[in-house]
Structure 1
Amino acid sequence: MPLGEADWEAAEPTEDVLTHVREVLSMDPAHAYRVQDFFRDTAPSAPDAFDLLNTLLDALEQRTSRERSEAVVEAALETLVYLGEAEKRIANVEDGAVAYYRIDAA
């Protein structure tokens, strides 16, 4: 169902997922993150504390499955790599090959 002008004006503006992902990467440019790292819960007092899943859900004002949310975050990360704003590396870890992303500090 399309949104009319009055409903559009009443709707709350939000930032895009790409902006939120960029902010998380920029908080600690020395570290690289897996997609799953964006969904971890850390103590609020931890220096790298964030819970991007809640941020995304609040920003998007929708309830989605974790799998869909992970796909959205991965797409945002891949877009940042494409734009040259982030780096991507594949690390061979215990569970196999895992993609890590970090903000391009160069």
Structure 2
Amino acid sequence: MGRKAAATDPETRAIDTIAAASVVSHSSDVDLTQRRRRQIVGAAVHLFARKGYDRTTMQEIAKRAKISAGLIYHYARTKEDVLLLALMHVINTYREQVPPALAGITDPLERFRA
């Protein structure tokens, strides 16, 4: 399947960046890779935030993502690859959401709260 035209919403741009990462996928279907990585990354971010990276297993990520652990390895070779994808997602989300949230706010304390 071919790659879709670039979307303009922040979540899709963040996922596009994830798809363009240097993390190897065994799938040649770009759209399927993006969907599966979205599942994996969502589960990983949640678990890494709650339990930490070291205490989170690939089996737990798979269970939360509602896929098999083996399928994760089809879209990311290692747990470190999953961490990289999760970090890229979080950074891109902040990059998209923080500037608009701070627009027009000049008070430092209010900016911090926002």
Shared fold per TM-score greater than 0.5: no
Identify, as 1 or 2, the structure richer in strand.
Answer: 1
Identify, as 1 or 2, the structure richer in helix.
Answer: 2
Q: TM-score range by the shorter chain?
A: 0.3 to 0.5
TM-score (norm 1): 0.34
